[in-house]
Amino acid sequence: MPETLAAAGSGSPPAAAGVVMGFDFGEKLIGVAIGNTLTASARALQSVRAERREAKFDAIGQLIAQWEPVQLVVGLPLSREGGEQLRTTQARRFANQLHGRFKLPVAMVDERYTSRAAEDAGAQDVDAESARLILEQFLQATP
């Protein structure tokens, strides 16, 4: 089951149906995908440059304004054995920043092997395709 940060002021995340935005966090690029809870489908959208903090969140803010998601999903990079590592801490920080800035619930989903699957599939934008795979995992695990 995905780990969730609830919307500000609420005890649990909303069970709202609609658009969901997924992220594959990276230090250089952040893959972004868009999906829908009604169809349980997702598609790769684009990658956002991650080097400059404000530029990164400005670009993400524009995508959120355009797509109006009801939920955000961030991939949780665990080790092969399922343990936490430095990138796990960074992804959690990114999820907390998304939650704080945009006041939307943020779920975290195990992203092990999504980048490899995206590469093996020959994706042009591996980060965005990884975000799509992360988002599909979330949609399939959510009733």
Question: What is the pLDDT, as a whole number, of residue 9?
Answer: 32
pLDDT tens digits for range 53-77: 889 999 999 999 999 999 999 999 8
Look-up of token digits 């169809």: 39
> H/E/C letters for each residue in 88-105?
HHHHHHHHHHHHHHHCCC
Task: Give this prediction's pTM.
Answer: 0.83
CB burial class (10 A; 0-12, 13-18, 19+) of residue 56?
middle
- The domains of the chain are located at 18-141
Question: What is the pLDDT, as a whole number, of residue 107?
Answer: 94
Contacts of 89 (CB under 8 A, 6+ apart): none
Question: What is the pLDDT, as a whole number, of residue 92?
Answer: 94
CATH code of the domain made up of 18-141: 3.30.420.140
Strands (E), the chain: 3-5, 19-24, 29-36, 41-49, 71-76, 106-110
pLDDT tens digits for range 83-112: 777 788 999 999 999 999 999 999 999 886
What is the C-alpha separation between 130 and 114, in angstroms, rounded? 5
pLDDT tens digits for range 108-138: 998 866 667 666 676 677 899 999 999 999 9
